[in-house]
Structure 1
Amino acid sequence: MLVGAIEAGGTKFVCAVSDEQLEIKERVSIPTTTPEETMKAVFAFFDQYELSAIGIGSFGPIDVNPQSETYGYITSTPKVAWQNYPFLLKVKERYNIPVGWTTDVNAAAYGEIKKGAARGKSSCIYITVGTGIGGGVVIDNHVIHGYGHPELGHILVRRHPEDEYAGTCPFHGDCLEGLAAGPAIEKRFGLKGQELDESHTAWDIEAYYLAQAMMNYTLVLSPEMIVLGGGVMKQAQLFPLIYKHYEQLMNGYVATPKLESYIVPCGLKDNAGITGCLLLALDEWHKTN
C-alpha cells in the first residue's frame, strides 16, 4: 500500500509517497506560485502512483470545520492567489480516496508526537518560528480542531522594555508573530537572524517573547512537551535564554518537567510536517478499511 503527503507551505509544496512503514519512495519540492501552476505539478507527481490515501497539511488559515460551507478551503491567507481556494475538494476530485486535512503545523505536531521529540507522550505543542509563527496541538494523541484551528502565533504578548519596534503582522501589528518571527528580527535590526552574532541583544528580546508564549501555552493547555522548530529556532543560543525568561515569568506558579526536557528542539528537523502528513494519510485509510 502506498500513501501520499502534501506539506503545503507558503514558499514550497513538499510532496511525498511512502509505504505503510513510512519508507519514502519519492519526494519532490514544488514552488508555491498560483494554485493552477502549483497543483498541476502536484497532480503530475501523484498521478504516477496508485495511492490508497493522502494527508494534507496546509498553510492557512484554513477551514477545518466539516459543518462549514467552506470546509477544506484555504481562507484568509496573505497569499492573495490562494484566498478561498478549495484545496481539499480539488484533491478529492482528482483522487477518489480518503484524504486527511489539517494545518501544516498540526501535521508537524502529529509527526513529532508519533516519530519525533515527543514520541511516547500523549500531548504536545509544536511551534514553528520562521517567516511566520504557527503552532499545532495534539492532545490524547489527537490533533486539535474546534470551530477552527489553533493560531498560536497571534497571541498578544507584553513588549520587551528595550523594544520599540511596531511589529510586522498585517492583522495585529505587535502580536507574537509580529514581534518575534524572522522578518521582525530583520526589520528591527537591519540584518537577517543568521547574520547576527550569538551575543546580540536580538536574541534576548526574541527569547523574552517566546518565553511568554511558552508560559501561556503551559497555563492554557498544560502539554507534556513543547517542541520548537523553524528557521529561527536553529539558533541554539535561544533555548537557554528562553528557559531563563520562562522561569522568571512563571515564578514557580505551576510545575513542569525540567525545562531542558520540556521545551525542546524539533526532533524530526525539516521532516516533521511531511511525516505528520503521511501519518494522517494512514489514519484516514484505517478509518475506512
Structure 2
Amino acid sequence: MKRIGAIELGGTKAVVGAAVMDGAMRPRPIDTLRIPTTTPAETLARCAEALRGLATRMGGLDAVGVASFGPLQLDPRRPGYGGITRTPKPGWAGAPVRDHLADALGVPVAIDTDVNGAALGEGRWGAAQGLNSHVYVTVGTGIGVGVVVGGRPQHGLVHPEGGHLLVRRDTALDPYGGHCPYHGDCLEGLACGPAIEARVGRPATDLPDDHPVWDLVGDYLGQMVANLLFVLSPQRIVIGGGVGGRPGLLTRVRHHAHRHIGGYIDHPALADGLSGFVVPPGLDTGSGLAGALALGWDAA
C-alpha cells in the first residue's frame, strides 16, 4: 500500500487530493480541495500546504503525481524538466512545477500533461481498461489529446498536441476563420468553446441541442477521430470535457468520423456506428485526478 498525493493543475483551478492505494483498485481520495490558479508561487504553495494537511491524516506521503496544463517540458535531459514552457497563461511560462513541489514536500513528484493524465486514469480505471492503446480527448476551453500505449503516456520530441491538428473547413458552410492565434482554423481554432462562442456570439452552454454549430463541431471532431485512427490506430478514443460532454455531440462525432473513414478500415471495433470506439469517459470528471494518482503510484 502506498500513500499518494495528486494534483490536477488547471488554468483556472487546481484540484488536490490524496489516497491510500494498492495499484489495482480504483483509488478513493480521502478528500479533495479546490484552489484557484493565481500566480505560480501562490498556487503551488497552497497545493503543497493542502497536501501536507492530507499527509498528516494519512501518516505521510510516498509520492505525488501532477497532471498539469501546459505545454510542459517532459524530457528529463533538458533544462526546465517538469516545468511549464511557452503558455498563454500570464506569469506561468517557465514555472518549475515539479521542482517546486518536490522541494516543498520532500517526496518523488511525477508530472505529465493534464490530458495525458486523464488518458492514464481512463486506462487504469475507466473507459479504456484492458486495452493496450487508447486516446483521451478533452474538448473545452481548448482541445487536448493524450495518448497511452502499453499503459504509458506517450512523449516524443514533445508531448502530443493533437488539438492543433489541421482539419478541412468548407468556407461556404463555415466562414469563421478560427480562434487559434497560431494556426487560425486548426481543430482547436474551430471546435473549442471560445471558438463556438466567437462564431455564434453566445456561449456554447447557452445553445440549444439542435443549433447548426453542433454539426460543424461534430464534423471537425469526426475528422480528428479519423486522423487519429489512421495515424495511431488506437483501440479506443475517449472524448470528455465541457464541450465534449455536450448531450448528442458524440453521436454527431461518430457519424462524421464514419463518413471520413470512408470504409477504408474494416474491423469489428468500428461496427455499430463506432459506438464502442468513440466513447465518453468512464470516470466522468474525475479522469484527471485519477491520472495524477496513477502518476504518483508509478513514481512511488
Residue type of the partner of 1:185? Answer: I
Deviations 1:205-262 (A, max 9, x none): 0001000011110011000000000001221211221122111111111134130000
**Aligned partners of 2:169, 2:205: CA distance in 1, in Å?**
23
Deviations 1:187-222 (A, max 9, x none): 101111221111111111000100001111001100
Deviations 1:152-203 (A, max 9, x none): 1011100034001111111111110010000111110111122111111111
**Aligned partners of 1:255, 1:223: CA distance in 2, in Å?**
14
The range that moved more, 92-101 or 72-81, is: 92-101
Structure 1 stretches of 4+ with a deviation exceeding 2 A read none
**Aligned partners of 2:71, 2:39: CA distance in 1, in Å?**
17
* Paired position in structure 2 for 1:75: 85
**Aligned partners of 2:49, 2:139: CA distance in 1, in Å?**
31
* Paired position in structure 2 for 1:40: 45
* Paired position in structure 1 for 2:108: 98
The answer as to 2:96 corresponding to 1:86 is yes
* Paired position in structure 2 for 1:240: 251
The answer as to 2:28 corresponding to 1:27 is no
CA contact (8 A) 2:64 2:293 kept: yes
Residue type of the partner of 1:234? Answer: G
Which residues of 2 match residues 1-289 of structure 1 at below 5 A?
1-21=2-22, 22-48=27-53, 49=55, 50-160=60-170, 161-256=172-267, 257=269, 258=271, 259-285=274-300
**Aligned partners of 1:123, 1:150: CA distance in 2, in Å?**
14
Aligned-pair CA distance for 1:130: 0.2
Secondary structure of the structure 2 residue equivalent to 1:214: helix
CA contact (8 A) 1:64 1:147 kept: no
Secondary structure of the structure 1 residue equivalent to 2:30: strand
**Aligned partners of 1:171, 1:243: CA distance in 2, in Å?**
28
CA RMSD of aligned residues (A): 1.1
User: TM-score under structure 1 normalisation?
Assistant: 0.96
CA contact (8 A) 1:2 1:52 kept: yes
**Aligned partners of 2:276, 2:153: CA distance in 1, in Å?**
22
The range that moved more, 158-167 or 261-270, is: 158-167
CA contact (8 A) 1:100 1:281 kept: yes
Aligned-pair CA distance for 1:69: 1.0
**Aligned partners of 1:64, 1:260: CA distance in 2, in Å?**
34
The range that moved more, 198-207 or 160-169, is: 160-169
Residue type of the partner of 2:13? Answer: K
Residue type of the partner of 2:77? Answer: Q
**Aligned partners of 1:43, 1:118: CA distance in 2, in Å?**
31
**Aligned partners of 2:180, 2:243: CA distance in 1, in Å?**
17
**Aligned partners of 2:101, 2:159: CA distance in 1, in Å?**
21
User: TM-score under structure 2 normalisation?
Assistant: 0.93
The range that moved more, 231-240 or 5-14, is: 231-240
Deviations 1:32-71 (A, max 9, x none): 1111221121121112212100001110100001111121
**Aligned partners of 1:26, 1:197: CA distance in 2, in Å?**
36
Secondary structure of the structure 2 residue equivalent to 1:135: strand
Residue type of the partner of 2:43? Answer: T
**Aligned partners of 1:178, 1:143: CA distance in 2, in Å?**
25
Aligned-pair CA distance for 1:19: 0.6
Q: Note the residue ranges of structure 1 that are not aligned, 5 or more in a row.
A: none
Secondary structure of the structure 1 residue equivalent to 2:297: helix
The range that moved more, 143-152 or 247-256, is: 247-256
Residue type of the partner of 1:278? Answer: L
CA contact (8 A) 2:48 2:105 kept: no
Question: Identity of paired residues, percent?
Answer: 44
